[in-house]
Chains A and B, each alone.
Chain A
Amino acid sequence: GDSVTQMEGPVTLSEEAFLTINCTYTATGYPSLFWYVQYPGEGLQLLLKATKADDKGSNKGFEATYRKETTSFHLEKGSVQVSDSAVYFCALSLNTGNQFYFGTGTSLTVIP
């Protein structure tokens, strides 16, 4: 079935370190891919998205490229800040049904 697998956490990084959070997917059709972020005590909010192969989503210094050949959508940021501490969710949605499939989330803590 359709699903998303993302790397286990928690991840702890020093400020200004490089971040990668891996995400791979399984889908029967041609999904759209998303990264959501959840700050402490809040709901999820969209960080970035890509709707077709080779698209790159970007926002707030984060990037992810939709790789059909490796079925991946890894999240990257060149220099993390303390304010990036949050839980990050990878998700996919098929173009039919509007239903989303979420990964289990990766907790990131950035220390000064």
Chain B
Amino acid sequence: DVKVTQSSRYLVKRTGEKVFLECVQDMDHENMFWYRQDPGLGLRLIYFSYDVKMKEKGDIPEGYSVSREKKERFSLILESASTNQTSMYLCASSPHTSGAAGEQFFGPGTRLTVL
């Protein structure tokens, strides 16, 4: 079974702290994604990556950065956490496909609270 794991289920940080959210997948997928999920807004894409060391901005990249040094690991970084970044963060991965789009596999999510 495909497994996507996230480093923490719950995280509490203070305003201004640097925050790292880690995601690891074990199926050798090329594509990895970071979303945030907020009530009434659904999932919004923050960043994605098609390959090692490659990254693309999603719909809401402001205040975030990412790192993909190894194929299996995709990190989301909040350089200086703010209260409006309190949210559920979901990581996903998918194989690169040509033609019909491949399924995205999700981790369990990290609920981040910024005080």
Measured CB to CB, the residues of A under 8 A from B are 31-32, 34, 36, 41-46, 49, 51-52, 89, 93-95, 98-100, 102-105
CA–CA, A49 to B105, complex, Å? 13
Residue from the list A45, A98, A100, A103 in contact with B50, Cβ < 8 A: A98
| Complex contact A98–B107 (CB within 8 A) | no
Measured CB to CB, the residues of B under 8 A from A are 4, 31, 33, 35, 40-43, 45, 48, 50, 90, 92, 94, 96-109
CA–CA, A104 to B44, complex, Å? 9
| Complex contact A98–B40 (CB within 8 A) | no
How far, in Å, is B68 (CB) from chain A's closest CB? Answer: 15
| Complex contact A43–B107 (CB within 8 A) | yes
Q: Which residues of A contact B42 (CB under 8 A)?
A: 89, 102-105
CA–CA, A94 to B100, complex, Å? 8
